Structure 1
């Protein structure tokens, strides 16, 4: 498999760099990390298929300074993390614009995008509810919420992308590209023992091993929108 390029986009100060660094630092120690440049990190990552694959993480922290580069990053990216802060309406609106731009450049059925609502540790000033975010997510988009500051649910966005990317490769290999349908993702909300809301969206996702601090739970989908399995990550401390 070729190197997977994951581009992290979003407004300033929504936690993009913290999310990437926390995820990379919590990955297995024996995987080798290299800094291609200041904003690009390359690392061997354990995928849901049980194999290690090379992933290049592009952390776009200065997009406002170079707006013309946004289209270049989108065109060269294979998967996208689009972040906003749950306490910042403007960052949410900007994330929606970025998601629409990705769809415009990549195609209507491009589905390797995950919207991430960060800063779950901030409750008193929260402006974007989980329900509101889910209502505005299209069927071709994944969604989860995290607290990069506390390391809460930081693996979920990338796990969703990696699993979805593997599924896309299988569809291409089976020569069913023309018959490919836009996948339908459903969300299911759970509450962790630490009283943080954690949500993962993915239909048909298979269980796989996680590290000692992550507990993967597969629950039957109780929802009138469809059937399948919903991926829930419950991190205990």
Structure 2
């Protein structure tokens, strides 16, 4: 077995972290919202022709669990920070979460991808693609618009 990486999904409540995780792992869409406390999953995948074992931590998004984020961050090797394109409030949290990652890791940058999820909900969109691109450029990290429902950019998001 090749390298092992702990990937942590962070973001506000209801942005689709669990749906993204289940689509990536099982190819199935989670249609009912059931707030997650914390779940860890494992998947082997090939990245740059090397077999890698990913430990994927799906975290809680509720405000009451934000103190746990530091522990999640401490142990993470890479992060997917997720917001919903249907919620300006979850988009606003992305920079705060990324700043927390850098503070906990005590680094100027760290392997992170920003995901604008629920891109299939075009009529409910509140955050534009350009806003997502600008934010990722500001933080010098990759950006993907994703749809867990349509399996859009899900695997690509985990291949950073």
| TM-score, length basis structure 1 | 0.58
- Say if 2:81 and 2:112, in contact at 8 Å, map to a contact too: yes
The reply to whether residue 66 of structure 1 matches residue 65 of structure 2 is yes
**What do you get for the CA RMSD once the two structures are aligned?**
1.7
Structure 2, unmatched stretches of 5+, are 28-37
Q: Work out the number of aligned pairs and report it.
A: 148
Matches within 5 A, 1:71-82: 71-82=70-81
Give the TM-score normalised by structure 2. Answer: 0.84
Residue 87 of structure 1, CA deviation: 0.9
Contact 2:41 2:57 in 1 (8 A): yes
Q: CA contact under 8 A between 1:6 and 1:57: conserved in structure 2? A: yes
Distance 1:143 1:125 in 2: 20
Where relative contact order (Cα < 8 A, 6+ residues apart) is larger, the structure is 2
Aligned positions of 1:1-237 closer than 5 A: 2-26=3-27, 39-47=39-47, 49-137=48-136, 138-159=138-159, 161=160
**Aligned-pair CA distance for 1:135:** 1.7
Cα deviation for residue 3 of structure 1 reads: 2.1
Q: Report if the CA contact (8 A) 1:17-1:61 is conserved.
A: no
Unaligned runs of 5+ in 1: 27-37, 162-237
